[in-house]
A and B are shown apart, each in its own frame.
Chain A
Amino acid sequence: MTRKRFSIWLILAVAVALLWTFLPMYWTIKYAFMTKTEIASFPPLSFPPAPQLASFFNIFGFDYTLPDGTVIPASGQARQVMLGLRNSMIVSVIVTTITMVVVLPVAYVFARLEFTAKGKLLAAILLSVSLPPVSTLIPFYAVYVQLGLVGTITGLVIVTLTITIPIVVWMLIGFFRNLPPIEQLARIDGFSRLYTFTRIIVPMARSGVLVASVIAFLFAWNEYVYAQVLVTGSQAVTLPAAMSGFLFQVPEPAHLAASLLVSLLPPFFIAFFLQRHIAEMNLV
């Protein structure tokens, strides 16, 4: 066993893994530090020749003056990007909160208790994991038109919940199954089911709860299909929908890259600090 030290092969493997991880991101993100000309040059440049932060100012509505005096004007998308950032935060936090409040007891019940029709109910919940968004896009839209929910945060939250709830239920069931039979201890100590669940099970399942909320948050934060249809161009626009303004029509790869980087920061932050809990989240 040569587990304890770096062998040449291990160094190579780690290098490949890091390249695999970061090259695809870097290749686009580097545009954020480049000018239009630099981005367009062929053959493509691997490194920004004169890195500058113009794009990060531009997407938040500020002009930026390059050292040579050229002024790079603020993007007209800035208002949407900021609105999107705010809305994405709101939607993600609301969705995560509701998902966790709703899903924790459900997953717990499915994991730890035996009752009739459990299998069928579970199958129904899991079936909704399989539903492709493109199938429900139009029906949702039609219903939302009737209810006046198009272009609202409420509407987006509801539709996002249909994605997060089933998947998080499924992930947490596995986690709860592996907890020790602590309920019995709690019953001996005289605690009610509610107390047991909220004050004992949930704190005990901290890892699982954290990871499940991260997953809910990521799904909400990264949701684009519904957002593109339901809230684009509205007051409820989310960051992905706002950002896609840099993707279509007129080329703004630098702004796209800068806003992508901004959009990646919250998930990265969360994933980075919670990764050690992920392994504890036993699916099986």
Chain B
Amino acid sequence: MARIELKDINKSFGEHQAVKGLDMTIEDGELLVLLGPSGCGKSTTMNMIAGLEDASSGQILFNGRDVTDIAPFERNVAMVFQSSLLYPHLTARKNIRMSLKRTKLSSAEIDKRVEDAATTVDVTHLLDKFPAHLSGGERQRVATAKAIVRQPDCFLLDEPLSALDAALRLSLRSELVNLQKRLHTTMIFVTHDQVEAMTMGDRIGVMRDGRLEQIGSPTDIYNEPQTLFVAGFVGAPPMNFFDGAIEETATGKVFANADMRVPLTGSAAELDPRARVVLAIRPHLMELCEEGPESVPLKVYAIEQLGNEAIVVCDGPNDNRIRVVVAPGYSAQIGSTIHARFNADVAHFFDPATERVIPKLTKAAA
């Protein structure tokens, strides 16, 4: 319904620059998740797309039409706010109707649309309640009904699930995705929860300090993090990092620091030697082993049993916290030293100065 383009958007509040030179395109019918920690500019970006805030500079295009200076309502977007904000003094029905109040639709038509929207998200029985008497999940559904009743070009959702408990979030998450796919409406979803982002988004835009760090499909983001930040922010349990250097030795290139020497194999072998590098490896790509020349010494800190697997949390070299996914039921003395190893071919390498990935020539296998 709408293809949204952001061109070199900047936004500052006084001295503070909230969004810096943002370029981004959201395809028609796509569900884009804006992910990032609080204060990263993701909500500001969404507000600018909605028209709630004016961009300091840059352009916003809806289907090629410049809407930068157009009021929110004219952009035909619908928005669900944090904690599913509703008018507290109006019933659910009136809240939903408010979305159509400024349209020229006839009253009968509005009634029909409200019924349809309510049915779509299954809130028909809640229509005459006040927001204060709705549970968090119910409120979220009503807010969604209020959004879809507009039949907007674009849905904007600003952390609508953040105030709910985990189980409810899980079910509402899939409901929202299902709804978006059925309606096939462009949706932008802002969250700071990477699991939410991974599970919902067609694409994820990771933001930090007002900049777009990386945008891509969840798989890309997960497997090909372009920056140290993305690597650390996305994925659970989080990525392990080792500081060290790439050295040229007689037997080939190795990643080395005081405690470990890992030979670089596969695509990693093509990296150039450099004095400072950060190696990143997913916890489940590491395995425990006997002490050996390629193993990494780790001091057990805690063991988390997840049922289908277990995670050993350890203190690694340079005081980095290192996690290793192991078989369920694993046990070890806290404080004891264990060893693990990994294949450098599937590791990522980052330049600590630029925090960007050091490209390998060939793609690592997933």
Contact = CB atoms under 8 A, between A and B. Distances in A.
A189 B102 contact: yes
Nearest to B13: A114
B81 interface: yes
Contact of B85 (A182, A190, A191, A206): A182
Interface string B60-86: 000000000001111001110101011
Contacts of A204: 87-89
Contact of A184 (B79, B83, B88, B99): B79
Contacts of A260: none
B79 A191 contact: no
A203 interface: yes
A204 B79 CA distance: 20
B73 A185 contact: no
Interface string A74-90: 00000000000000000
Contact of B73 (A188, A200, A203, A206): A188
Q: Is chain B's interface secondary structure helix, strand, loop, or mixed overall?
A: loop
B283 interface: no
Interface size bracket, B side: 20 to 34
A189 B101 contact: yes
Nearest to B51: A187
Contact of A206 (B71, B87, B89): B89
A111 to B, nearest CB: 17
Contacts of A203: 89
Contacts of A191: 73, 101-102
Contacts of A139: none
B87 A187 contact: no
A255 to B, nearest CB: 46
Interface in B28-67: 47, 50-52
A229 to B, nearest CB: 43
A200 B50 contact: no
B22 interface: no
B98 interface: yes
B89 A185 contact: no
A185 B71 contact: no
Nearest to A187: B72
B50 A188 contact: yes
Interface string A192-232: 00000000100110100000000000000000000000000
Contacts of A67: none
Interface of B: 47, 50-52, 71-74, 77-79, 81, 83, 85-89, 98-99, 101-102
Interface of A: 180-182, 184-185, 187-191, 200, 203-204, 206
